[in-house]
Amino acid sequence: MALENKTENTQAMKIENISPKHLESQLTVTPANVELLAEEIALEATHYVDAVGWKFLIEPYTIFMGLATGAQCCYAFLAGELMPNKHKMLAISLALYIFCYFPKEAAQAFNKREQTKKLDFLGIFLLVAGLVLFILGIMTGGSPYPWKSAQVLGMVISGGICLIALCVWEVYQGENAFFAVHLFKDVRGFGMNCICSAVGGISNVALSIIWPTQVAYMYSTGSSWQVVGAMSCTIGFGLWGGMVFLGPLWGPIGHPKWILIVSNIWMTVFIGALAHCNPDNKTFAIVCSFLAALPIGFVEQQTGAIAQLVVGDREIGTSFGTMGCVRVGTGAIGTGIVLAILTGEHSTFTYEKSETDIFKAKIPVELEAHIVPAALKAGLPATSIADLFAAIFASSETAMAAVPGINAEIISAVGRAQLDGYAAAYRYIYYATIPFGVLATASAVALRPVAHLLTSHVPKMVENPQAHHGSRDLKKTMD
């Protein structure tokens, strides 16, 4: 509203040139631009958070942490080959490997140089370049660059072209392809399962990043650091619980398709329920965040097992690796979109009603919508709004006490309005994830039956290196 009623003579202003310490020297505080000043200062706070985030991304230890996470994903290759189909995700299998797995056949000697030459370096480059460019384009869209700027459009379009080129390139790579495009020809098997896994990846990564910040904004006031820390980990506890405790039950219970459908509905319902979190229902937030994450971990185990069931024995590793690539890639892209909804904004205001309104960041918009009316209603002079937001941004009691016309009643009203503003901003995130959950549920419904594949068949027999890698069971699912 504040941006739509400006006069024609109002000039566009760069957000990066605005900060609380020199805001008053650039604009005169009048009732006509009070809301504008409030929004600009709120956006400035968001940009400072973004700046810290980008510095973190370029730290060397962040890169090493990312490289180290690849090894732990190999558990599925081991379980997929050496465990019976119906016990692929049984947690106790790890202990059995340690105490019972002593292969009699000699380790096969590989020529490392020849193996390295077979790596699909161009495909790897296209994948990395495509994801990095596309995600950077989304993350920088609105802040610090406008969505229609050459920088944002260039990164998004070039990233999309790289990903399309990757799919085309991998079609002609045969056995050397690391991204098995041909598996997607099995639409009702591998394809539908991949969609379920991808949505789980979006929910996993997005909630793991978004939830701790929401806890810090909404529930840290009056709580000890131990409580805040534990509450921030409820998503992690739920993910871990779903993998460790629910995952092993998948095979023994049977009915994998129905379990996947129920898990996706469960996930969608409780993620949507998180939209109703507010500063007054901390217990509700804790319970819903845990229950929202629990099926996400369960779905990750289910889709990992199904990806290995719907292909021949020779393609177990390729299938899981391709699905994991899709899961991580879409999870990163989805997280970029979620963060753009929460904190992204145009770096230039035109003060005109246009289609760019849909790109408004929710945090500054909701802070303005809640704090300004609450402060004015409590009796704060309109000319003190800019000083109020400067004090909020500085998180200083001294600065807050120095705001002209401030008193304890106004401070209390502003504090409550700030919490309500954050709750309203995060609500959009959870609403935005509901369509993804519906898509995952529909994909689970479309998945062809795989219950008859939960047999005692072991893809790789250590005692018999020449064990068949046939597709006898798989053919039954294609009928």
**Size of the chain in residues:** 479
Q: Which amino acid is at 197?
A: S
Q: What is the pLDDT of residue 352?
A: 34
Q: What is the pLDDT of residue 416?
A: 92
Q: What is the pLDDT of residue 194?
A: 93
Q: What is the pLDDT of residues 89-105, one digit of tens each?
A: 665 555 566 666 665 55
Asked if 144 and 14 count as a contact pair (C-beta separation under 8 A), the reply is no
Q: Is the dihedral of CA 427, 432, 434, 437 positive or negative?
A: negative
For 198-223, the DSSP string reads HHHHHHHHHHHHHHHHHHHHHT-TT-
Q: Which residues contact 317 (CB under 8 A, 6 or more apart)?
A: 77, 80, 81
pLDDT band at 254 (very low <50, low <70, confident <90, very high): confident
Q: Which residues contact 134 (CB under 8 A, 6 or more apart)?
A: 155, 156, 159, 160, 162, 163, 333, 336
Partnered with residue 142 across adjacent β-strands are: none
Asked if 414 and 367 count as a contact pair (C-beta separation under 8 A), the reply is no
Partnered with residue 14 across adjacent β-strands are: 348
Domains along the chain?
50-99+178-346+423-478 (1.20.1250.20)
Lookup: tokens for 420 = 């309500």
Q: What is the pLDDT of residue 238?
A: 92
Q: Is the dihedral of CA 381, 383, 386, 390 positive or negative?
A: negative
Q: Which residues contact 197 (CB under 8 A, 6 or more apart)?
A: 299, 300, 303, 304, 307, 323, 324, 326, 327
Nearest to 292 by CA among 200, 396, 401: 200
Nearest to 304 by CA among 83, 473, 477: 83
Q: What is the pLDDT of residues 266-277, one digit of tens each?
A: 999 999 999 999
More confident residue, 186 or 253: 186
Q: What is the pLDDT of residue 30?
A: 40
Q: What is the mean pLDDT of residues 239-263?
A: 85
Lookup: tokens for 223 = 């709580």
b (16+ CB within 10 A) / e for 65-98: eeeeeeeeeeebeebbbbbebbbbbbeebeeeee
Give CA angle at 400 (398, 404), nearest 5°. 110
Give me the percent of the chain exceeding a pLDDT of 90: 25
Alpha helices in 223-315 (DSSP H): 225-232, 234-241, 250-253, 256-273, 282-309
Q: What is the pLDDT of residue 205?
A: 76
pLDDT band at 478 (very low <50, low <70, confident <90, very high): very low
Range among 135-144, 205-214, 378-387 rated most confident: 378-387
Does position 135 have pLDDT exceeding 70, yes or no?
A: yes
| Gyration radius of the chain's alpha carbons | 26
Q: What is the pLDDT of residues 77-93, one digit of tens each?
A: 666 666 776 666 665 55
Does position 246 have pLDDT exceeding 50, yes or no?
A: yes
pLDDT band at 29 (very low <50, low <70, confident <90, very high): very low
Integer Cα distance of 340 and 81 in angstroms = 41
Asked if 377 and 417 count as a contact pair (C-beta separation under 8 A), the reply is no
State how far Cα 14 lies from the chain centre: 30
pLDDT band at 1 (very low <50, low <70, confident <90, very high): very low
Asked if 277 and 210 count as a contact pair (C-beta separation under 8 A), the reply is no
Nearest to 450 by CA among 209, 202, 78, 190: 190
Does position 11 have pLDDT exceeding 70, yes or no?
A: no
b (16+ CB within 10 A) / e for 174-207: eeebbbbbebeebeebbbbbbbbbbbbbbbbbbb
Q: What is the pLDDT of residues 331-374, one digit of tens each?
A: 877 777 777 777 654 333 332 333 334 445 788 888 889 999 99
More confident residue, 459 or 72: 459
Q: What is the pLDDT of residue 244?
A: 82
Q: What is the mean pLDDT of residues 43-66?
A: 49
Q: Could you give phi then psi for residue 14, rounded to 5 degrees?
A: -85, 130
Integer Cα distance of 449 and 306 in angstroms = 10
More confident residue, 120 or 175: 120
Q: Which amino acid is at 67?
A: L
Integer Cα distance of 182 and 55 in angstroms = 39
pLDDT band at 261 (very low <50, low <70, confident <90, very high): very high
Does position 443 have pLDDT exceeding 90, yes or no?
A: yes
Q: What is the mean pLDDT of residues 431-453?
A: 91
Q: What is the pLDDT of residue 65?
A: 63
Question: Which range is least confidently modeled, 216-225, 228-237, 313-322, 464-473?
Answer: 464-473
pLDDT band at 477 (very low <50, low <70, confident <90, very high): very low
Asked if 389 and 46 count as a contact pair (C-beta separation under 8 A), the reply is no
For 398-440, the DSSP string reads HHHHTSTT--HHHHHHHHHHHHHHHHHHHHHHHHHHHHHHHHH
State how far Cα 316 lies from the chain centre: 26
Q: What is the pLDDT of residue 13?
A: 32
Q: Which residues contact 158 (CB under 8 A, 6 or more apart)?
A: 133
Integer Cα distance of 452 and 407 in angstroms = 70
Q: What is the pLDDT of residues 450-470, one digit of tens each?
A: 888 887 777 766 554 444 444
